């Protein structure tokens, strides 16, 4: 990890792949990841950890399957939201977005239980940032 400040704009400009997060830094045993997203991810769940989202640019929608039904949370630029552990969810960005996520190191982007993974979704635990 870098011992210098990392401009998030420069970090996001260093890659083009969608739904393929880059690890910007680590905090204790957590990754701070940035990603460019557009279109839909997959329905998935993280059994043992919450998932934190911060929208840096654009707008992110997160559909949630909860005990009392399905709902969608809309996150405009500058908004944060935490998906509770064990909640099935599906992020999507109809017009594209840049997001920051905070989750335990080694957490797979497709969760612990998920649908079939389409080609446009990178099943990863995060990629090193090349700046």
Structure confidence at residue 93 (pLDDT)? 97
- pTM given for the model: 0.91
- Mind listing the pLDDT tens digit for each residue in 10-51? 999 999 999 999 999 999 999 999 999 999 999 999 999 999
CA distance 35 to 20: 6
Structure confidence at residue 130 (pLDDT)? 80
- Mind listing the pLDDT tens digit for each residue in 93-103? 999 999 999 99
CA distance 22 to 88: 23
Q: Give the model's confidence band at 128: pLDDT under 50 very low, under 70 low, under 90 confident, else very high.
A: confident
pLDDT, mean over the chain: 91
Structure confidence at residue 113 (pLDDT)? 67
| 29 CB burial (10 A radius; 0-12, 13-18, 19+) | exposed
The closest alpha carbon to 11, from 31, 35, 27, 29, belongs to 35
Structure confidence at residue 85 (pLDDT)? 95
CA distance 22 to 131: 11
Query: Residues 57-64: what's their mean pLDDT?
Result: 98
Structure confidence at residue 126 (pLDDT)? 82
Whether the per-residue pLDDT at 1 is higher than 70: the answer is no
CA distance 130 to 116: 29
Top CATH class, 8-113: mainly beta
């Amino acid at each position: 990890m870098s011992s210098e400040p990392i401009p998030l704009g420069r970090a996001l400009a260093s890659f083009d792949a969608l739904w393929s997060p880059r690890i910007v830094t680590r905090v204790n045993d957590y990754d701070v990841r940035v990603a460019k997203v557009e279109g839909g991810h997959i329905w998935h769940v993280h059994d043992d950890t919450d998932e934190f989202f911060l929208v840096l640019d654009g707008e992110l929608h997160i559909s949630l399957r909860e005990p009392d039904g399905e709902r969608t949370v809309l996150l405009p630029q500058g908004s944060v939201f935490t998906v509770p552990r064990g909640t099935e969810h599906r992020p999507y960005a109809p017009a594209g977005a840049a997001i920051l996520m905070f989750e335990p190191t080694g957490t797979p982007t497709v969760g612990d239980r998920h649908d079939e993974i389409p080609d446009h979704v990178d099943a990863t635990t995060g990629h090193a940032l090349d700046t």
